[in-house]
Amino acid sequence: MTTLPQSTHKKLGLAIDLDICVGCHACVINCKEWNTSNYGAPLSDQDAYGAEPVGTFLNRIHTFEVKAADKPAQTVHFPKSCLHCDDAPCVTVCPTGASYKRVDDGIVLVNESDCIGCGLCAWACPYGARELDAAEGVMKKCTLCVDRIYNENLPEVDREPACVRTCPANARHFGDFADPDSNVSRMSAERGAVPLFPEQGTNPVNRYLPPRPKADIQTDGDIDILAPFLDTGSAGKSGSSTGSTSTSAKGLLGWLDKALEAI
């Protein structure tokens, strides 16, 4: 069993916007790409070209259908990685102290040299956010790119997690949830952000921004704006036969005459 710090100075985490996530998997793969070559052991892939390819990923996207009565079914893309919980059960369950939460910024990490690969933390995590790397035998999880966000070898603008930097839809935002004026705190307040499974008592740091209310759609049938002005009634200027043309075409031609005069 391992203790959590009583509090952390910052609460770094992600605000993930479900209103704009199109489920493209950019974050999933860019995360894999950065993290397989950086912090800790590589993220291996077993049977990589075979019948049952399965590898270690720190971030995955799940796709759901939401069905409500009388409405067309909706597709929701839900990216999921470690939520860096304040009351992280993956830390408290760790028998060796390998899992820990950083006092400075609240990031939950695994000290791989102390990890025995017992898997208890993955079992304790209600979000399924940890994956045991089959090649290395150690537990892997989102580090919030701890080797990017403070990295003085990167330009300042790039000191953010790889998934945030790469997201083409700008659906992922990184910041300090302990600071009420941070980008992620303000965004969360404005958009009514939600924690995932609050009933689990984990106090996750990451927040999900729910889909915005759909843009104002007039109810079908309210079509005033298209009310035809064709009751002006005048026929086309030529008055000639317009063959199979319906009356509305004649009406349009009458309107045209006036409208062109006004230009």
Partner 1 sequence: MNKHIQPDLDTSPKVSDEIRKTTCYMCACRCGINVHMQDGKVKYIEGNRDHPINRGVLCAKGSAGIMQHYSPARLKAPMKRVGPRGSGEFEEISWDEAFQIASDWMTPLREKHPEKLAFFTGRDQSQSLTSFWAQQFGTPNYAAHGGFCSVNMAAAGIYTMGGAFWEFGQPDWERAKMFMIFGVAEDHDSNPIKLGLSRLKERGAKIVGVNPVRSGYNAIADEWVGITPGTDGLFILSLIRELLAAGKVDLDYLIRYTNAPYLVNCDPASDDHGLFFYDNDGKPQVLDRATGEPLPFDQQGVKPELATDYTHKGTLYRPAFQLMAEKYLVDDYAPENVSERTGVKPETIRRLAAELARTAFDEEIVINQPWTDFRGEKHDKMIGRPVAFHAMRGISAHSNGFQTCRALHVLQILLGSVEVPGGFRFKPPYPKPVTGHPRPHAKPVANSPLNGPHLGFPQGPEDLAIKANGTPARIDKAFTWENPMSAHGMMHMVISNAHAGDPYKIDTLFMYMANMSWNSSMNSRGVMDMLTDKTEDGEYVIPRIIYSDAYSSEMVAFSDLILPDTTYLERHDCISLLDRPISEAEAMCDSIRWPVVEPDRDVRGFQSALIQLGAKMKLPGFLNEDGSAKYQDYADYIVNHERRPGVGPLAGWRGEDEKGSGRGAPNPDQIDRYIENGGFYMDHIPEEALFYKPWNKAYQDWAVERGIFDKPSPYTFNIYVEQMQKFRLAAEGKGELQPPDHLREQLKMAMDPLPTWWQPFEEALVDGEEYPLHALTQRPAAMYHSWGSQNAWLRQIHGHNPLYVSGEIWAEHGFEEGDWAYLKSHHGEIQVPVVRMDALNPNTVWTWNAIGKRKGAWALDEDAPETKKGFLLNHLIHELLPPKGDGLRWSNSDPVTGQAAWYDLRVNIRKAPTPDNLQSEPEVPAQKSPVGQGPKNIRYGKDF
Q: Which of 156, 181, 190, 217 binds partner 1 (CB under 8 A)?
A: 217
Give CA angle at 55 (54, 60), nearest 5°: 100
Q: Which of 115, 86, 118, 128 is nearest to 103 (CA)?
A: 86
**Cα dihedral 38, 131, 120, 144 sign:** positive
Q: Does 152 bind partner 1 (CB under 8 A)?
A: yes
Residue labelled with tokens 């307040």: 189
Residues 6+ away with beta carbon under 8 Å from 150: 159
Q: Does 73 bind partner 1 (CB under 8 A)?
A: yes
To partner 1, the closest distance from the beta carbon of 61 in angstroms equals 8
Q: Does 53 bind partner 1 (CB under 8 A)?
A: yes
To partner 1, the closest distance from the beta carbon of 188 in angstroms equals 16
CA gap 235, 230 in Å, rounded: 10
* Contact between 139 and 117 (Cβ < 8 Å): yes
Q: Does 231 bind partner 1 (CB under 8 A)?
A: no
| Per-position DSSP letters for 105-145, written without gaps between them | T--EEE-TTT-----HHHHH-TT---EE-TTT-SEE---TT
Q: Does 243 bind partner 1 (CB under 8 A)?
A: yes
| Per-position DSSP letters for 79-93, written without gaps between them | EEE----TT-HHHHT
**Interface region with partner 1, contact rule CB under 8 A, candidates 122-130, 189-197, 199-207, 233-241:** 233-241
Q: Does 170 bind partner 1 (CB under 8 A)?
A: yes
DSSP 8-state class, residue 193: -
**Interface region with partner 1, contact rule CB under 8 A, candidates 25-33, 79-87, 180-188, 200-208:** 25-33
CB atoms within 10 A of CB 129: 24
**Cα dihedral 115, 118, 122, 123 sign:** negative
To partner 1, the closest distance from the beta carbon of 146 in angstroms equals 6
Nearer to partner 1, 70 or 199 (CB): 70
Q: Which of 4, 115, 193, 205 binds partner 1 (CB under 8 A)?
A: 4
Q: Which of 70, 156, 218, 231 binds partner 1 (CB under 8 A)?
A: 218
Nearer to partner 1, 46 or 180 (CB): 46
Q: Does 54 bind partner 1 (CB under 8 A)?
A: yes
Q: Does 208 bind partner 1 (CB under 8 A)?
A: no
β partners of residue 173: 15
**Interface region with partner 1, contact rule CB under 8 A, candidates 82-90, 174-182, 194-202, 220-228:** 220-228
Q: Which of 154, 178, 187, 194 binds partner 1 (CB under 8 A)?
A: 154
Interface residues for partner 1 in 27-46 (CB under 8 A)?
Answer: 28-30, 32-34, 36-38, 41-46
User: Is residue 64 helix, strand or coil?
Assistant: strand
